């Protein structure tokens, strides 16, 4: 593995008999997102460049309540927990009225995908606050109760200048979790011998719509399984191989590329990526929007390739890190858009306004598979779902209980 020491900017070669890919996801290609800005789907991007398959990349989960901190800050999208709505919190439009009853009888307690879509529709209709978002209100439950039961959330909102217990907090749906990721086996192994994967880098664990709390379970359960598998694999198959000089030279040349180009700000590229993915490949999708996203991503990759950074002190060079992060985000964004174009139905977190029904006959019974072709384009395939426990239409409940 070739790494960059962020403290010095020097390249570091690490030999390992086995590697666990566990970088997390990080859908920070969207305007509003919960992960920190340094999360950029690097593990998925590395897997694509290694020739590995990714599955279900169209399944990006949006959490309904990210704090809308306003323009000029990258803290916007910071998550506040689902328990607020579960305990009776209200979602309000810019007009100060509740709106969820128009979309689902469960109101604010509907599933994440339904609530996020409802909020986004209200935003498109213009029923928003001054910053273009909505509100969550808890004061009707009693400020003392809210402070007692949601101490951490009250403090988090206070840090951002809002009173969760007694006032209204501006919120917006926010990109939260990648259900798609690397195709891997139950023991954590991948198609590349010696490479194991776990957590949000992997796909297939959560289907099309992850349940709250299962992300941590994914990391700990499959992380533990992968660790045990590696411990068994290494004595039988592990070896410290000599690196390929040509591969090392190519990797360093790619990382060095921006230093040889005219230095320009990366902010316009990042901002355009955020808006493009949010507007055209986000909560609500359709054929025309996805086509715009695909062509827009091609243009942005061209812009990034032509954009350089100043070659000064390499230690803690945030511009260099941003350039590398954008390279990963653009690649993974192309995988998301390609898979979303191919799945001409709505399922879980993936909603096509032009195909709002769920298909139980063809695409619905297969996972999308994305790979990186030799020409640098994203290639799309399908993998039939294996029904080893239950088939569509069957029930796990005993007949007397149904």
- Catalytically active residues are 63, 85
Alpha helix (H) residue ranges in 212-244: 214-237
- Residue 310: both structure tokens together: 């100043």
Q: Could you count the other beta carbons within 10 Å of the beta carbon of residue 163?
A: 15
Measured between its terminal Cα atoms, the distance across the chain in Å is 54
Structure tokens at 349: 């977190």
Q: Rounded to the nearest 5°, which phi and psi values hold at 388?
A: -90, -15
Cβ 198 vs Cβ 20: under 8 Å: yes
Angle at 213 between CA 386 and CA 227, to 5 degrees: 65
Instruction: Provide long-range contacts, Cβ within 8 A and 24+ apart, for 381-387.
Output: 382/342, 383/55, 383/183
Angle ∠(106,110,111) on CA atoms, nearest 5: 160
What backbone phi and psi angles, to 5 degrees, belong to 87? -90, 0
Q: Is residue 257 exposed (0-12), middle (13-18) or buried (19+ Cβ within 10 Å)?
A: middle
Q: How far is CA 225 from each of CA 16, 143, 150, 198, 217, rounded to the nearest angstrom?
A: 19, 44, 34, 9, 12
């Amino acid at each position: 593995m070739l790494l960059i020491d962020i403290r010095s900017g020097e390249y570091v070669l690490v030999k390992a008999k086995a590697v666990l890919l566990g970088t997390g996801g990080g859908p920070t290609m969207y305007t509003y997102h919960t992960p920190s800005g340094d999360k950029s789907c690097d593990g998925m991007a590395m897997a694509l460049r290694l020739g590995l398959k990714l599955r279900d990349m169209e399944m990006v989960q949006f959490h309904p309540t990210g704090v809308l901190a306003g323009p000029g800050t990258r803290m916007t999208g910071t998550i506040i927990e689902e328990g607020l709505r579960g305990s009776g919190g209200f979602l309000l439009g810019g007009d100060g009225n509740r709106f969820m009853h128009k979309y689902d009888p469960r109101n604010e307690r509907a599933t994440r995908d339904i609530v996020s879509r409802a909020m986004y529709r209200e935003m498109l209709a213009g029923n928003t606050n001054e910053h273009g978002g909505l509100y969550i209100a808890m004061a009707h439950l009693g400020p003392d109760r809210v402070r007692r039961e949601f101490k951490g959330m009250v403090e988090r909102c206070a840090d951002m200048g809002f009173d969760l217990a007694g006032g209204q907090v501006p919120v917006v749906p926010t990109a939260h979790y990648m259900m798609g990721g690397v195709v891997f086996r139950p023991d954590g192994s991948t198609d590349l011998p010696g490479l194991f994967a776990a957590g949000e880098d992997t796909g297939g664990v959560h289907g099309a719509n992850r349940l709250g709390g299962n992300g941590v379970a994914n990391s700990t359960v499959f992380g533990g399984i992968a660790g045990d598998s590696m411990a068994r694999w290494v004595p039988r198959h592990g070896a410290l191989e000599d690196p390929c000089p040509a591969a090392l030279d190519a990797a360093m040349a790619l990382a060095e590329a921006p230093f040889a180009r005219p230095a320009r700000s990366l902010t316009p590229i990042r901002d355009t990526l955020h808006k493009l993915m949010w507007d055209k490949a986000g909560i609500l999708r359709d054929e025309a929007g996805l086509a715009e996203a695909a062509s827009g991503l091609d243009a942005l990759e061209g812009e990034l390739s032509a954009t350089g950074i100043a070659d000064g002190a390499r230690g803690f060079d945030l511009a260099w890190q941003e350039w590398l992060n954008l390279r990963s985000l653009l690649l993974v964004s192309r995988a998301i858009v390609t898979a979303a174009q191919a799945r001409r139905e709505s399922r879980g977190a993936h909603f096509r306004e032009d195909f709002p029904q769920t298909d139980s006959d063809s695409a619905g019974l297969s996972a999308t598979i994305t790979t990186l072709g030799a020409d640098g384009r994203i290639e799309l395939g399908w993998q039939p779902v294996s029904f080893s426990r239950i088939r569509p239409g069957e029930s796990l409940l005993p007949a007397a209980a149904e």
